[in-house]
Structure 1
């Protein structure tokens, strides 16, 4: 009877990915063009300029303190409740879950792992670059500032650059980076830029970041998005490696177990007789057949000729079946033992 293997959820996902893409002509992989290289260099220069302006306590630091003393959350308290929810668009956990859900559906529809891998690479770069800058410069936030007019650098803080702003640029910008058409890419790029700047200004309104933190976070996120085409070959190799690993794992699961064939026996040769011995009888052939299929292993017979039941000479027992005993006295006979006692 033929039985079919029941497909698991993982098998159904990979079988979906094995199909031909539905929109292959609309999917193009961004490359590192000259225009993108110029934008990357300009953004890097802007990044370095912001850091230098804060380190030397320039006019940008004075502007940070003026905005902090202005206290926007006290000037416009009516929008405080709305901005408390809006700032969630820059938090790592909720935004990563929402964007991963959308890109997972895109991977399912387009039968490719590239959207999810691109998101993973961008978040990894974000954690490495922004996290290292935060810990390296150690700037304190407005709520923890100790010296009015100082840049509050290297005091153990972790707010420079703004993680909310950089995360908003990357998580929402990856949707524009993976857009299927140039028009959608332009619209989504503008939308992600406005959203990220809005998230950054919201942190300034709430008093959790300096204005210079927001500017540096926006530049840090933009650098990651501009550098992603350099990682496209790595993403392609990772996708090919995952599919290759999947194929080898599937082959091991579906490979049939080879059956062990019995050892061949030469025609006319007896399994119980050696060369030069007597030919095998019918009994020997039957014993060999039973031995081959016996679960207890081969049978060991005593040496000598062995006859089948039909060839044996019937033996008629003579005399009593009990063995003779020399010390037993026949019934009715006088015992020869001396009587003792008295």
Structure 2
């Protein structure tokens, strides 16, 4: 029985009491409220309401000029909302969990969340086409439908989704509460940092928070699809393993020749070097086998047997004269 520490790495199944989140009434109510907030932000910006006025006041206040001493630190902190670095970090952690627990669910949840994020947020960005504060053209305008792509804030939505996945996949209630608080702080900080740097309006950040939360709340609807995807992947893996186990291992003789039982149908029979020497006195290169000729000359029975065998086989020597290539003339000299 293995008692070393590495034995624990062989398999660490998920806790048996883990509950996969379902679309409960509470979650459905939160989803409906967040969706209403999302639509209210869009309408408020399109209508040039008080929210647009606040956007311009914050932009003209220029926080990055008011507190320049934290600019360098926040430049690094905002990376926690960039899609590439955060996706790599979280995917590495979830991949390790998938290997330890022998399940693809953590990676499938991350993939589904990022897919929903790219489709929904990207479509709204391109559809509304809002310009950022640094590219604003007219004070007090909404800067909508001008070819931009900053509404909602992608950094903010990505921070909500990427770090919120860790809370969504937590295996205990305590871990879920702690990770929810941590992800909320990170998402809040990333959103406000983009306002400080002047890359987003405040309304962009509000819509980014709502967009990311909607994706997290909608993930239980994707759970049955992820279960089927995991079953398909594991079934394909088992079929591949079974196919590999069924492949025959053909033994090879010491001389390199295949046994007669494993020869392909219709393939010419392979003979040993002794049989080839007895049946083919002249090699394919036109040379002679001196020892074989001497044997056939001094043993008539062997010669007659050789002739009988040769009459039944297809000639294997090249066409042309069978005269040795370097025969000396009959005249002396």
Shift of the alpha carbon at 1:190?
1.6
Unaligned regions of 5+ residues in structure 2, if any? 1-7, 251-259, 263-267, 280-299, 305-333
CA distance in structure 1 between the partners assigned to 2:71 and 2:201 by the alignment: 18
Q: Which residue of 1 aligns with 2:163?
A: 172
Shift of the alpha carbon at 1:99?
0.5
Deviations along 1:10-66, one digit per CA (max 9) or x if unpaired, are: xxxxxx99x764343243211111100000000000000000000000000000000
Shift of the alpha carbon at 1:76?
0.9
CA distance in structure 1 between the partners assigned to 2:270 and 2:152 by the alignment: 78
CA distance in structure 2 between the partners assigned to 1:109 and 1:27 by the alignment: 16
Q: Which residue of 1 aligns with 2:42?
A: 51
Shift of the alpha carbon at 1:257?
2.9
> What secondary structure is seen at the aligned counterpart in 1 of 2:90?
helix
Deviations along 1:39-96, one digit per CA (max 9) or x if unpaired, are: 0000000000000000000000000000000000111111111111110100011111
Q: Which residue of 2 aligns with 1:42?
A: 33
Q: Structure 1 pair 20/82, CA: closer, same or farther in 2 (3 Å)?
A: closer
Q: Which residue of 2 aligns with 1:216?
A: 207
Matched, 1:125 2:112: no
Q: Which of the numbers 87, 109, 118 marks the counterpart of 2:78?
A: 87
Q: Which residue of 1 aligns with 2:20?
A: 29
Q: Which residue of 2 aligns with 1:278?
A: none
Deviations along 1:190-224, one digit per CA (max 9) or x if unpaired, are: 21111101101000000000000000000000000
How many residues are matched? 259
Confirm or deny: 8 A CA contact 2:80 2:190 kept in the other structure.
Answer: yes
Confirm or deny: 8 A CA contact 2:79 2:85 kept in the other structure.
Answer: yes
The structure that is helix-richer by fraction is 2
CA distance in structure 2 between the partners assigned to 1:155 and 1:123 by the alignment: 27
The runs of at least 4 aligned residues of structure 1 exceeding 6 Å deviation read none
Matched, 1:235 2:235: no
CA distance in structure 1 between the partners assigned to 2:247 and 2:83 by the alignment: 47
Q: Please give the residue correspondences for 1:54-203 in structure 2 after superposition, counting only pairs within 5 Å.
A: 54-203=45-194
Q: Structure 1 pair 309/115, CA: closer, same or farther in 2 (3 Å)?
A: same
Task: Report which of the two structures shows the higher radius of gyration computed on alpha carbons.
Answer: 1
Unaligned regions of 5+ residues in structure 1, if any? 1-15, 263-290, 300-307, 313-342
Confirm or deny: 8 A CA contact 2:59 2:133 kept in the other structure.
Answer: yes
Normalising to structure 1: TM-score of the pair?
0.71
Which has the higher mean CA deviation after the structures are superposed, 206-215 or 92-101? Answer: 92-101
Q: Structure 1 pair 233/21, CA: closer, same or farther in 2 (3 Å)?
A: farther
Q: Which of the numbers 233, 242, 246 marks the counterpart of 1:251?
A: 242
Q: Which residue of 2 aligns with 1:304?
A: none
